Amino acid sequence: MKNYAIRMLRSGAAALAIAAFAGGAAPVQAQDAGSVKLGLVTFLSGPAAGPFGVPGRNGAEILIEALNAGKVPAPYNTVGLGGLKIETKIIDESGSAANVVSEYRNLVQRDQVDAIVGYVSSGNCLAVTPVAEELKALTVLFDCGTPRIFEEKPRKYVFRVTPHATQDNVAAARYVLAKKKNVTLYSGINQNYAWGQDSWRDFVGAMSVLAPKAKVDKELFPKLFAGEYGAEISTLLTSKSQVLHTSFYDGDLESFIYQQAARGLGKRMTILATTAESSMKRLGNKIPDGSIIGARGSNGPLARDTELNKWFVKVYTDRYGTAPTYPSYHMAQSIIGLKAAWEKAAKAKNDAKPTIDEVVAAFENLQFEAFGSTIKLAIGHGHQGIAEIAYGTYKFNKQKNEGEIVDVVRFPAECANPPADVNAEDWIKGGMKGAKCD
Amino acid sequence: MLSRANLIGAVLFLAAGIIGFFLPPWLVSLLTIAFANALVVLGLIILWRAGLVPFGQALYYCSGAYTVALLARWAGVSDAFVLLIAGGLVAGIVAFLTGFLLARYREIFFAMLSLAMSMILYGVLVKTETLGSTDGFGVDPPHFLGYAPHGDALGFALYWFVLVVCAISALVIGVYFKSVAGALAVPIRDNEIRVEFLGISVTRLIHMKLVIAGTLAGVGGALAAMTIGHVDPNMSYWTTSGGFVFVTILAGAGSVAAAFVGSLVFEIVRSFAFAVLPGFWQMTLGIVLLLTILFLPEGLGSLATRFRRRKPDTKPVATS
Amino acid sequence: MLTAFAILTDGLAYAAYLFMVAVGLTLIFGVMKILNVAHGSFYAFGAYGAAMAAGIYYDRGLPEAGGFLFMILLAMAIGLVLGLILERGVLRFVYGRDEVIVVLVTYAVFLILEDVIVFIWGPQSYAAYQPMVWAGNVEIGELVLSNYDILLVAISAGLALFAYWALKFTRYGRLLTVVIFDRETAAAFGINVTVVYTVTFIIGAMLGALGGAMMAPKISITLGIGVEVIVLAFAVVAVGGMGSIEGALVGALIVGICRAAAVHLMPQIELFVIYAVMALVLVFRPYGLFTRAQPRKI
C-alpha cells in the first residue's frame, strides 16, 4: 500500500517535470510586429509524403522565400503579406485524427501562428475544421477534396481556395463524352476509401446525366496501397468496357500503370486517370497513348501560360530539378489567396496589420489570379474556391522522350461546379442544373 | 477504503485538476487526450498481467468512439454522461461476445486473432459510405447535465470530466487488482494449468478480464471522440492497437498509476518529436521504445521502485 | 470457364507474392519464436535496393537480362547486412524475454527503419519496371498474362522446393529442424544455438529483401510499402501455422485464391476477405493449419 502511494507520487512528479520541459522547449513566442507567423501542415512521412506532402512543402518554400524577397511577379510583388515577412513552422500531418487535432491546437495556442495553411487528407480537414472555428484561427485547407467541409455547416474561419473533387469527375465525364461520343460501357477502378468512393460516385452520377445510355460494367475497389492488381486487370481484360475511370494517385497509380502496361490493358480500353498529371513524368511511355489525363484543376502542363505560371515553373524547376505538380500548385495558390485577402484587408486600414477577423471578411467571396487559373471563392458561402479545369489526352513524344498532353479542353468553373447554394451530390443527382459551359 | 494510497491518489487527482487552471489550453487538451488513452492502457495492463497482449484493442476503442458519434448524430444525444456510459456499454458487449472466442487463445495466437477482428471492423467501416468511409465524421461538443460550455471552458470541462472518470476507474481497478480474480493474473501467466487445478476456470477469468479491458477501451474511445470531436475508421486500424501496446510497455504493468504516467509521457514525447523533428518522429518513438525495453524492462512505473531501492542498497547487505 | 481460369491464374500470381513475403517470416518464427514486424522493413529495403540497382544498371545500357540478377543480388546483400546488424546489434539482447516484448522490439526497429528509408532514399518514389517490360506477355484466349507473373510463380515454387530440400536433406537444415523441435535439447546435444539463430535471422532477412526485389518491377516503390506487407504476411502465416514452411505455402495459396475469387465474383468483400479467412481458420484450427497443438506443461 505504502509502496504504491510513493510510487504514484514519484511518477506523478516525474511526469510534471517532463510536462514542464516540453512546455519550456517550445515557449510561447512574443508576437513580432514585423512578421506574420504561418503554420504549414502537410505529410512529411508515410506514403502521402512523396506525391503530395513534399511537393506541397516545396511549393510553399520557394513561394514564401520569393514573397519575403519581394520577387514574385505582379500583382504579388509586395514583400511578404502586406509588407510583413512570413515566418513558417512546418508540422507533419501523419498520425491519428487525435494527433492531428492536438498538433493543430499546439500550432494555434502554443506557437501562436497567425494563420495555418495545410492538410492533404480529407479526414484531417474534416477533423480540424470545427477546432479552427472554436479557436477562431484562420485556416486555408490546401489539397483535400471532400465537398463536405462547407456543405455540412457554413464556416467562418476556414477557407479552401482549391476547388473540391466534384469538378474533377464532372469535367472528366464531359471530356470523355466530348471525345468518345459512343461510349456504351465503362468501368472504374478506385481505391477503397473515401476519396475513391466519392470520385467514382460523382463520375457515375455525371455520366448518367450526360449519357444516360452508357452502362456501368465493373466497379473495382481494391484496398488502398494494395500495390498488386493482377486480379483486377484480369477482370478488366475480360470485360467489354470502352473506358476505365480511375482516381488512383501516385504509388497506386504507378503500380497499376506498370502492371497493366505488361498485359496490354491500354490497347483494349481508354484509361481515364483524374490525377495522372503528378505521375506523368515518372511513368513516361508506360501510360498508353490516348489515355485521358487530369491534374485536379488547370495545373502543371494543363495550366494557362501566364507570366505568373512561367515564373512559378521556372523557380520550382531551378530549385528542385523537376517541374511542379498539382499539389505544389494547390499549396502555392492557397498561400497566394491568403496574401490577396490579407492585403485587401490591410489596404482598407491604410496598410496597418489587419486583425484575423478583417482578413476573414476580406477573404470571403474573393477573386484572385492564381498560378494556373483565376480562382473565385464563389460557393460554400464564399469560402470554397471554384476555377477552370482542364483535361487532355496523353501522347508520348519519342523524339523528346517525354509525355505530352494534347487536345486540351478547358471547362469553365461554372460548368463543372455546383451553383452556390446546392450540395455537390444533390446537384449531380438533380441533373446538374445551372451548369454554364460556354 | 480510505487507505493511504487512495488518499494520495485523491490528492494527486485534485492537484491535476487544479493545475489545469494554470496550464495553457493546448496543454490541457493534450493532457485530456493522454488521460483518455490511459484508460485503454489500463485495460491492457489488466490483460498483460495475465500474459495476454492483444494487437486489436482498437476494436473496442473504436466501438466506444463510434457509439458516441452515432448517438450524437442520429439520436441527438448530447449529454456526456449518457454518451460515456453508452460507449463503455457497447464496447463491453462487443468484448463479451468476442471474448467467447478470444478467451481460448494465448500468446501470439491471441494477438493475431484480436488483430483480425479489429481489422474486420475497419473493413466494415471503410465500406460504410453513409458514415463518411475513411474520412469519418464530426462529433458535436457534449453537454454536461445541461451545462453547455464553449471554447476554453469546454476544454476544462472535458479535462475535469476525463479526470473524474480516470479517478473512478483507477479506484475500481485498484480494488480489482487486490481481489482474488485480479491477483490470479500472475499465476495464470506463470502456469495456468496449476490455477485450474485449484478448481478455477481460467477461461472464465480471462473472459472477465477481456470484458473489463474492452469496457475501459470503450470508455477511453468515448472520451477521445468527445475530446477530438471527430471519429474515423483509423481508430480501429492495427497501428492504433500497436500504439496502445507501445504505451503499455512504456508504462509497465506494475501499477494503476503507471498507465496514466506512461500515457502522459508518450503523448509529450510524441508531441515534442513532432515539433522538433517533424520528419523523424517515427524514429524518435522507435528509439524511445527500444531504450525502454532494453534498460527499463518493467516500464516507467519501475523507476519509482528503483529510486526507493537504491538507498538501502548503498549499505552493505549481509544476507541475500 | 474463363472466369475460373482467370481466378486460378490471378490466385497463383498473388499466392506467389504472398509466399515470397511470408516464407522468411515463418522461418524466423519457427526457429527463434520471434514474430518479426521488421520483416516489412526487409521487404521495403529489398525493393528500394532493387530500384537502386535498376537505376545503376540500366543507365549504363547493359544487356537487359542481367539487370534482374543484379537487382536480386544487391537486394539480398542489403538483407544480409541488415539482418546481421539487427540480430547482433539488437535482438540478441532480448532473447529469453517475453515473446510479445520481442515483437515490440521488432516494432521499434520497424519504426526506426521507416525513417532510415527517408534518410537514405528521400520521400520520392522509385521504379524498376524494366524486367517486367522485358519479359513481355502471352495471350491465352481473351486473357493476357504477364510473363513476369509466370516467372514469379515459378520462382516461388522453386523457393518452396528448395526450402523443403534444404530442411530435409542438408546438414544445416537438419540442425534447424532439431532447434525448431526443441531448443533446449538441441543445445544440450552440442548444437551452437547462437550461430543457428544468427544464420536463420540473416536468411529470413534475405528472403524478405528477395520478396521486395521480386515485387519491385511490378510496383511503385514508395514510403510505407512495408506496412502493407506486414499484415498480409502475418495473415498468411497465421492461416498456415506459424513457423511452418509448408503452412506458408498452403496459406499463401488459400489467401491468394480467395482474394482473386473475391475480386472476380464479389468485389465488395475484397477489403476484408483476407482477415475473414484468417479469423475463420483460427476459429477451427487455433494454431493454424500446419502446427501441432503445443503440449501443455505443468
| Residue C258 placed within a domain | yes
- Beta-strand relationship, C143-146 and C137-140: antiparallel
Residues A159 and A254 in one domain: no
Q: Which of C:31-70 have CB within 8 Å of A?
A: none
pLDDT score for A20: 43
Interface contact flag, C278 B286, Cβ < 8 Å: no
State yes or no: pLDDT of B310 exceeds 70: no
Shortest CA gap A48–chain B (Å): 13
Do A371 and A309 form a contact (C-beta atoms < 8 A)? Answer: yes
pLDDT per residue as tens digits for the range C108-163: 999 899 889 988 998 888 888 888 888 888 888 788 888 999 999 999 999 999 99
State yes or no: pLDDT of B305 exceeds 70: no
pLDDT per residue as tens digits for the range A201-215: 999 999 999 999 999
Residues A187 and A269 in one domain: yes
A2 phi and psi angles, rounded to 5 deg: -70, -45
Do C205 and C86 form a contact (C-beta atoms < 8 A)? Answer: yes
For an interface test with B, give the residue of A8, A92, A110, A144 to mutate (most B CBs within 10 A). Answer: A8
Task: Please give the C-alpha separations between residue C125 and each of A328, B209, C122, C128, in angstroms, as whole numbers.
Answer: 17, 45, 8, 11
Q: Any idea which of B23-27, C49-53, C198-202 has the lowest mean pLDDT?
A: B23-27
pLDDT score for A33: 58
Residues A285 and A408 in one domain: yes
Counted across chains B and C, CB pairs separated by less than 8 A come out at: 111
Confidence of residue A13 (pLDDT cuts 50, 70, 90): very low
pLDDT score for A4: 42
| Residue A7 placed within a domain | no
Contacts of C137 in chain A (CB under 8 A): 262-264
Q: Hey, is the C-beta of B134 within 8 angstroms of any chain A C-beta?
A: yes
The Cα–Cα gap between B311 and A6 comes to: 14
Counted across chains A and C, CB pairs separated by less than 8 A come out at: 135
| Residue C294 placed within a domain | no
Chains that touch A (3 or more CB pairs under 8 A): B, C
pLDDT score for B164: 92
pLDDT score for C100: 77
Residues A159 and A186 in one domain: no
What is the tally of structural domains in chain A? 2
For an interface test with A, give the residue of B129, B228, B296, B308 to mutate (most A CBs within 10 A). Answer: B228
The arithmetic mean of pLDDT across residues A31-50, rounded, is: 82
Contacts of B246 in chain C (CB under 8 A): 104, 107
| Residue A312 placed within a domain | yes
Q: Hey, is the C-beta of B315 within 8 angstroms of any chain A C-beta?
A: no
Residues A58 and A89 in one domain: yes
State yes or no: pLDDT of A30 exceeds 50: no
Closest of B246, B251, B273, B249 to residue B261, by C-alpha: B251
| Residue C13 placed within a domain | yes
Identify the CATH number of the domain in which residue C111 sits. 1.10.3470
Sign of CA dihedral B259, B261, B262, B267: positive
What is the tally of structural domains in chain C? 1
Which carries the bigger pLDDT value, residue C59 or residue B62? B62
Query: What is the domain extent for residue C175?
Result: 2-284
**Cell 491464374, residue located:** C9
The arithmetic mean of pLDDT across residues B89-103, rounded, is: 93
Instruction: For residue C131, say if its preceding peptide bond is cis, omega within 30 degrees of 0.
Output: no
Query: What is the domain extent for residue A424?
Result: 166-295+388-429
Contacts of residue B275, Cβ cutoff 8 Å, sequence gap at least 6: A25, A26, A91, A106
Which carries the bigger pLDDT value, residue C210 or residue C287? C210
Q: Hey, is the C-beta of C38 within 8 angstroms of any chain B C-beta?
A: no
Contacts of C10 in chain A (CB under 8 A): 230-231, 234
| Residue C227 placed within a domain | yes
Confidence of residue A23 (pLDDT cuts 50, 70, 90): very low
Q: Which of B:157-216 have CB within 8 Å of A?
A: none
Which carries the bigger pLDDT value, residue C294 or residue A277? A277
Shortest CA gap A229–chain C (Å): 9
Confidence of residue C75 (pLDDT cuts 50, 70, 90): very high
Contacts of C35 in chain B (CB under 8 A): 108, 111
- Listed by start position, the domains of chain B span 4-304
State yes or no: pLDDT of A22 exceeds 80: no
Residues A262 and A142 in one domain: no
Residues A135 and A186 in one domain: no
Selecting from A54, A222, A227 the residue whose C-beta is nearest the C-beta of C270 gives A222
State yes or no: pLDDT of B298 exceeds 80: no
Identify the CATH number of the domain in which residue A206 sits. 3.40.50.2300
Shortest CA gap B30–chain C (Å): 23
Residues A273 and A236 in one domain: yes
Residues A291 and A146 in one domain: no
Selecting from B109, B191, B242 the residue whose C-beta is nearest the C-beta of C282 gives B109
Selecting from A22, A26, A122 the residue whose C-beta is nearest the C-beta of B135 gives A122
pLDDT score for A327: 92
Interface contact flag, C112 B283, Cβ < 8 Å: yes
pLDDT score for A12: 45
Shortest CA gap A333–chain C (Å): 23
Shortest CA gap A409–chain B (Å): 32
State yes or no: pLDDT of B316 exceeds 80: no
Interface contact flag, A25 B275, Cβ < 8 Å: yes
The amino acid at B99: G
For an interface test with C, give the residue of B124, B269, B270, B282 to mutate (most C CBs within 10 A). Answer: B282
Confidence of residue B216 (pLDDT cuts 50, 70, 90): very high
Most confident segment among A290-299, B14-23, B139-148, B311-320: A290-299
pLDDT score for C40: 93
The arithmetic mean of pLDDT across residues B286-293, rounded, is: 88
Cα B11 to chain centroid, rounded: 22
Cα B260 to chain centroid, rounded: 9
State yes or no: pLDDT of A26 exceeds 60: no
Contacts of residue A30, Cβ cutoff 8 Å, sequence gap at least 6: none
Q: Hey, is the C-beta of B284 within 8 angstroms of any chain A C-beta?
A: no
Interface contact flag, A258 C218, Cβ < 8 Å: yes
- Upper half-sphere CA count for residue A425 (Cβ side, 13 Å): 12
**CATH of the domain spanning B4-304, picked from 1.25.40, 3.30.420, 1.10.3470, 1.10.287:** 1.10.3470
The Cα–Cα gap between B84 and B67 comes to: 9
Rounded to the nearest integer, the mean pLDDT of chain A is 87
Shortest CA gap B209–chain C (Å): 18
Residues A321 and A344 in one domain: yes
The arithmetic mean of pLDDT across residues C199-213, rounded, is: 94
Closest of C15, C178, B79, B16 to residue A8, by C-alpha: B16
Contacts of C115 in chain B (CB under 8 A): 279-280, 282-283, 286
Confidence of residue B309 (pLDDT cuts 50, 70, 90): low
Which carries the bigger pLDDT value, residue B105 or residue B214? B214
Q: Hey, is the C-beta of C296 within 8 angstroms of any chain B C-beta?
A: yes
Residues A39 and A151 in one domain: yes
Q: Any idea which of A4-13, B118-127, B229-238 has the lowest mean pLDDT?
A: A4-13
Percentage of residues in chain A having pLDDT higher than 90: 55
State yes or no: pLDDT of B87 exceeds 90: yes
Residues A125 and A192 in one domain: no
State yes or no: pLDDT of A106 exceeds 50: yes
pLDDT per residue as tens digits for the range A223-253: 888 888 988 999 999 888 999 999 998 888 9
pLDDT per residue as tens digits for the range A296-323: 988 988 998 899 999 999 999 999 988 9
| Residue C49 placed within a domain | yes
pLDDT score for B311: 46
The ipTM value here is 0.87
Q: What is the pTM of this model?
A: 0.86
Chains that touch C (3 or more CB pairs under 8 A): A, B
Q: Which of B:290-309 have CB within 8 Å of A?
A: 300-301, 303-305, 307-308
Q: Which grid cell is C138? A: 502471352
Cα A90 to chain centroid, rounded: 17
pLDDT score for B272: 84
Closest of A147, A149, A157, A94 to residue A120, by C-alpha: A94
pLDDT per residue as tens digits for the range A146-179: 888 898 888 999 999 999 989 999 999 999 999 9
| Residue A261 placed within a domain | yes
